[in-house]
Amino acid sequence: MTVLTELTPFTYHVLMLMVVLIIKSVVSHFIAHEPLRFFQFYCLQLGNKVNNSKNSRKHQIIAGLLALLVTLVPIVIILWLFADFVAVEYMWQGLLLYFALGSLNLGQINKTIAQALVAKQNYLAKQTLNPLLLRETEQLSQVGLSKAAIEMQLLRSVQQIYVVSFLFIVLGPLAALSYRLMLEMHYCWNTKLPQYKHFGFFSQLVTHILQWLPSRIMTLLIILSSLGQGSLLSWRLTRGHFFKLNNDFVIAVLAFSLAVRLGGVAMYQQEKLRKAAFNDLGRQPEPRDIIKATSKVNFSIYSSLLLLILFAVSWQLVISKMDS
């Protein structure tokens, strides 16, 4: 405990992040669990109860905002007040971060999907992928499953790992958990579903604002992972998406980095939704591209962690010398 108090706040948060990531990685390897499952159930029930698609667009948007505030504000206040009664502060902060972080075994899941596709076991691939997607998987071909698996891992890694870690380092554990709760509300009230097209407006808007900066940092690292493989061309072709308040930039960069097509039409509740398509001149994704995508996503995450460690150690040494 004495050692922890001698660390700078930044070094302390980096150390805490590393420890929780290791613990969650080990636990996720042996046990498939979702700590926020009950919160997801609550959000679905609340959405069904409060949202009325027959109301006007304005009323639905206001209802969505009120649902977000009524859900989030009491939880944040209770956790903030409860922190004063916790004797071991670092354990409490680590617990909040553990709940905020998403699954760390997405790479293993996608490896299983890729192996199933290679073995022509499309049904197994669909069953493995279906719980992780909002879109329907029943009618997806091998190409569609490969594309969906790549996009799933990319977006979940950005939203549930990278952004959560960024907010924890910058703003602390309560901010990281608050964001994750809003993200779960966004998942449950996704505007791609007709009944939540307006109701989920604010949950989507807030999460996209919080994701913008950290997702751009991770995306630039994905570009660096393709250094010497047309990374400059990738930047020129995708920079038009850079300032958009959505996921187009990160998906576009990965599409050009893998030289495959991503995005396009997807089915939601038996309805086709035409989303933006990226790298139309590229080939269709294959199972091997799922593994390549995993490598690029892991590179961006691991390189960020390495840079954090190096900066934290350097900063700690500088502060120690100044104090002495």
Buried b (16+ CB within 10 A) or exposed e, 208-245: bebbbebbeebbbbbbebbeeeebeebbebbeebeeee
> Which pLDDT score is estimated for 274?
81
Between the CA of residue 318 and those of 5, 213, 304, 324, what are the distances in Å? 16, 27, 21, 10
Q: Count other C-beta atoms under 10 Å from residue 65's C-beta.
A: 16
Task: In whole angstroms, give the CA distance from residue 31 to residue 101.
Answer: 15
pTM of the model: 0.94
> Which pLDDT score is estimated for 280?
85
Between the CA of residue 186 and those of 52, 65, 77, 161, 196, what are the distances in Å? 17, 11, 21, 16, 10
Task: In whole angstroms, give the CA distance from residue 44 to residue 53.
Answer: 15
Backbone phi and psi for residue 167, each to the nearest 5 degrees, phi listed first: -65, -35
Question: Could you tell me which of 164, 209, 172, 165 has the C-alpha nearest to residue 83?
Answer: 172
Tell the residue number behind the tokens 């996209």, with chain if given: 208
pLDDT tens series, the chain, 324 aa: 546 667 888 999 999 999 999 999 988 877 777 889 999 999 999 999 999 888 899 999 999 999 999 999 999 999 999 988 888 889 999 999 999 999 999 999 999 999 999 999 999 999 999 999 988 888 889 999 999 999 999 999 999 999 999 999 999 999 999 999 999 999 999 999 999 999 999 999 999 999 999 999 999 898 887 765 556 666 777 888 888 989 999 999 999 889 899 998 888 877 888 888 898 888 999 999 999 999 999 999 999 999 999 999 998 888 888 776
Task: In whole angstroms, give the CA distance from residue 258 to residue 95.
Answer: 36
Task: In whole angstroms, give the CA distance from residue 324 to residue 319.
Answer: 9
Question: Could you tell me which of 153, 99, 102, 109 has the C-alpha nearest to residue 91?
Answer: 99
Nearest 10 degrees: CA dihedral of 271, 272, 275, 278? 150
> Which pLDDT score is estimated for 260?
93
> Which pLDDT score is estimated for 316?
87
